[in-house]
């Protein structure tokens, strides 16, 4: 089972990268939080990896921190939450915010995550509330980058999308149509913008 990969980024996208490890290219799914921490294509990076084995495929999920990988593994331990949904959850809420929401039993915040309904939110709280409390304090401190200030979110998303090859004018128009709410993060806003741009 692959637990760690170190290599050069051959291709980089918001939801996956191709990591060149001594001539072998590994496709690794990543959450947005990891995407924003990566160097540019060609750069060297180490990712903590979760290997998901199915009957017909092997999927790799990569994370910049071991703490985020541990949170991912807790999520997929919940009935009805597979790796794809867990990755989606981590892409739409900062890991520290997710941990706090689970501890507080904040069903409204959890239900606001795309793909998570009220019942799934209740199940997450029920099964993970005590487990996330046991994560080491040091790990909690490194779960994710600090939340961006409200006024900086739009600029960060604009920069990220322009770096991905989208025209600045088009991105600016799309972002102008989106309302940035109090609960929004760079990751959640980027996902909304990408949905509009890919239509």
**pLDDT the model gives residue 44:** 94
Structure tokens at 121: 């939110």
Label residue 144 by pLDDT band (50, 70, 90): very low
Check if the beta carbon of residue 155 is closer than 8 Å to that of residue 138: no
pLDDT-above-90 percentage for the chain: 38
Q: What CA–CA distances, in Å, run from 63 to 114, 125, 151, 189, 191?
A: 21, 23, 27, 20, 18
**Model confidence over 77-91: pLDDT tens digits?**
998 899 999 999 998
**Cβ neighbours for 42, distance < 8 A, ≥ 6 positions apart:** 8, 9
Superfamily holding 4-63: Nucleic acid-binding proteins (2.40.50.140)
Is the confidence at residue 187, as pLDDT, over 90?
A: no
CATH class given for the domain over 66-141: mainly alpha
Query: Which of 55-69, 131-145, 181-195 is predicted most confidently?
Result: 55-69
With b meaning 16 or more CB within 10 Å and e meaning fewer, what string describes 125-136? Answer: bebbeeebeebe
Is the confidence at residue 150, as pLDDT, over 70?
A: no
Is the confidence at residue 142, as pLDDT, over 70?
A: no
Average pLDDT, the chain: 84
The ranges assigned to domains in the chain are 4-63, 66-141, 150-197
Domain 66-141 and domain 150-197, same fold? Reply is no
Is the confidence at residue 136, as pLDDT, over 70?
A: no
CATH of domain 150-197: 1.10.8
Check if the beta carbon of residue 177 is closer than 8 Å to that of residue 199: no
């Amino acid at each position: 089972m692959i637990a760690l990969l170190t290599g050069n980024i051959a291709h980089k996208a918001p939801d996956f990268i191709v990591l060149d490890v001594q001539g072998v290219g590994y496709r690794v799914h990543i959450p947005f939080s990891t995407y924003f921490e990566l160097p540019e294509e060609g750069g060297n990076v180490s990712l903590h990896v979760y290997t998901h084995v199915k009957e017909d495929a092997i999927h790799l999920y990569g994370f910049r921190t071991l703490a985020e990988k541990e949170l991912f593994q807790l999520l997929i331990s919940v009935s009805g939450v597979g790796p794809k949904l867990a990755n989606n959850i981590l892409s739409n809420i900062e890991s520290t915010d997710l941990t706090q929401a689970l501890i507080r039993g904040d069903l409204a915040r959890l239900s606001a995550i795309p793909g998570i309904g009220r019942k799934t939110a209740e199940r997450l709280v029920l099964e993970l509330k005590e487990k996330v409390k046991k994560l080491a304090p040091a790990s909690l401190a490194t779960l994710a980058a600090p939340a961006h200030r409200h006024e900086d979110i739009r600029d960060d998303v604009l920069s990220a999308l322009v770096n991905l090859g989208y025209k600045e004018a088009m991105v600016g128009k799309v972002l102008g149509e989106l309302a940035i709410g109090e609960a929004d993060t760079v990751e959640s806003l980027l996902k909304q913008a990408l949905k509009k741009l890919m239509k």
